[in-house]
Structure 1
Amino acid sequence: MQPSDYTASKVSVGPLKDLVSYQEGMALKLAPKLSRGVLEPSHFEKMKFSSAMHVFSKSSSAALRYMVVEEHRPESYLTTAWFLETVDHWFDLMSSRNTVTALSHFKMEEYDKAIIFLRDSIHLFRGLKIGPKGSWKPVQTGLVMATTILEVQHDLLRQGHKFVLTSRFTQDCLENTFSSIRLRNSVPTPVEFQYALRAVTVGQFLSPVHTGSYVEDGSDHLADFLDTQNSSCSLPDVLRVEQLVELTTPPDITKTESCVLYHLAGYIVKRVISFSLCDKCQCALVKNVSDGENERAGLLVLK
């Protein structure tokens, strides 16, 4: 899985700490969700799943690659960037909640790539040596055991199922239930746990806990069936672009921040163009310039 042109075989938190120090004080950050608190968590913060997602993400990986290309950091950073991206992709495949990332035979080429990647992930984590002593860690056991979904999905697809949502095999729903039970008392007694579980079961008190350690499981509940989402906004809440940005005065930002802004602007334009716009409107938003010729496209190319 690892390209042969990398100069180092060691993954370290050092490049991430360097990244946090580099982007500290910037208004537009390369990895906005990465902070010192995420890299140096307390005992209870280590159990928060969101912290791990902020580290093992495509934005963190692209930011490290940007540091190497644009800021001339050591090429050994690329190994850490590759590992972060690998774990992020593994998590996407192992927690699929829609048919796009689900395992299915609709697109055999994509399916074969996913299966090969998951098998390589098992081989990778079996060969990892973590820590100074290079001992086997529980995280390696967890990943290898979780990736046994390969056998399950093979049987399900062979039985005629169209696709397999791997998120249905996780315990996010159970952990979210525990988070709701511990909402009032983090360490409930057996009696308190029994009453809280009864209240959760009967009252469908399963709203997401923002301070919980796990992500939402994505399932619907009976209590939410009649809830309606009002996405409309009133006129006073709508601001014109001229009120947000003074077009006559360019912002005083660094080259790195301009690359981040260029990436954000490209994302917004792409979303706008996805709505059926006429050719004239698209030409007003898009300019045919190669990303390689634009110095502000450095981060966009790496992502």
Structure 2
Amino acid sequence: MTAPDPRELRSAFGRFMTGVTIVTSLDADGKPAGFTANSFSSVSLDPPLLSVCPGRFLSTFPVFAACDRFAVSILAEGQEGISNTFASYKGDRFARTPWTPDAQGIPLIDGAVAQFSCTTHARVEAGDHIILIGEVTALRQSDRPGLGYLGGQYFSLGLEREARDPARTNICGAIVEREGTVLLEPTPKGYALPETCLTDHSALRKSLAADLARRGLDARLGQVYSVYDDTRSGTHYAYLLATAAPGPTLPGFDAVPIADLAGARFATPATARMLARFAEEAASRAFTLYLGDTEAGDIHSHPERP
């Protein structure tokens, strides 16, 4: 074992699998305030206590350091966008989020798997955070699957179980970038991305890396870029970003300049839209995540750890 530096400690803490919550309250003027937290814990049944840990770095920290009441909403799968909003958005977070006030006017996030209204029971100084302990005065819950968080990524046990359905087809592919180009496979219908068919996408990265290696591609896989379903066929698609080492063009691939992607012909409209988005975002390297289906969905920024 080694003495922890802050970055290593943050990474090690991140290996603990958690849910994701939104903690809310009202400031002295009655204006809603909130932040994303995975530092949530049940404390006691009698009396009914829970805890969250606001960081001193939060813009909303003064509100939670002084509040008499607060609420906690445990997010459901599919609410990644709400988590991202309360983790990093600098504008009016509540204007972008469906919510309902509790009996004291404190926001509860609509669609959450559980909602708790609390009075402040105690505050404990804890380094660069405080431990805010609340006594639960009212709660509501549902049977929806919750949203999970591990190692800087969201996950959903409900979606993972669905992916393991043997009747479901899972396609995993990569946008492989090399020296200002993207490696694409020419087909009679247009360009396609290198991809593989999986029976279980819980081993997505390992299976995709092995498939790329079999094709002669020495590629390093990066972030997930697009996840969507074909509503007609039921096929689930997941695409990752990847970078390949410099070298000659491989048989079966064309190296298409990123600047030419928007005008290229692709095998499917979904691929064309995804590569047009990639070409636009490549200029700033601020790559996003698309979640939806072949026709419509949401685009999310990749957040810092909540």
With normalisation by structure 1, the TM-score equals: 0.23
Which has the larger strand fraction?
2
Higher RCO, Cα 8 Å, sep 6+? 1
Which has the larger helix fraction?
1
With normalisation by structure 2, the TM-score equals: 0.23
